[in-house]
Amino acid sequence: MTPDEQFVSTLEKLLERSKKNEVNWQRGSQSVFLVSFQGSPITHISIAFGSPEAAPDWFEAALYVGNEIAMALRVEEGGDTEQFDLLYELWKNAERSVVKWDQSLNVVNKALDSEEMVGAAPDTDDDIGF
């Protein structure tokens, strides 16, 4: 198995663990998420998304050893569909883990499915400003 194939296999394993909420993703920046691994040297995997105006959307996964990129996989929309889908899914799972939008949707749906009044009561002491 080539190093590139090993990296793709590693990303597939990371996706499976992420789907089970077994990965401690962190936000690196607005469109980058990363997971760090204990050991020496310090190792982490990042997953990034870009959507330039005049070019196709892209995802990039990178393996860092210390501060150096040891290997990376970048796929543009319209390129290798299987790898694009893998990185898209990995990025969306990392985003879900960090933003916790799935938990928020559960709270909203629970409220909507109940017979109770939906929404928090307005706070008359707080001026929202709009």
**pLDDT recorded at residue 31:** 94
Contact between 75 and 84 (Cβ < 8 Å)? yes
DSSP state of 114: S
Q: What is the reported pTM? A: 0.80
Q: Kindly give the parts of the chain with pLDDT less than 50.
A: none
Q: Is 121 exposed, middle or buried (0-12, 13-18, 19+ CB in 10 A)?
A: exposed
Output the CA–CA distances (angstroms, integers) from residue 36 to 18, 22, 43, 72, in the order listed: 13, 13, 6, 16
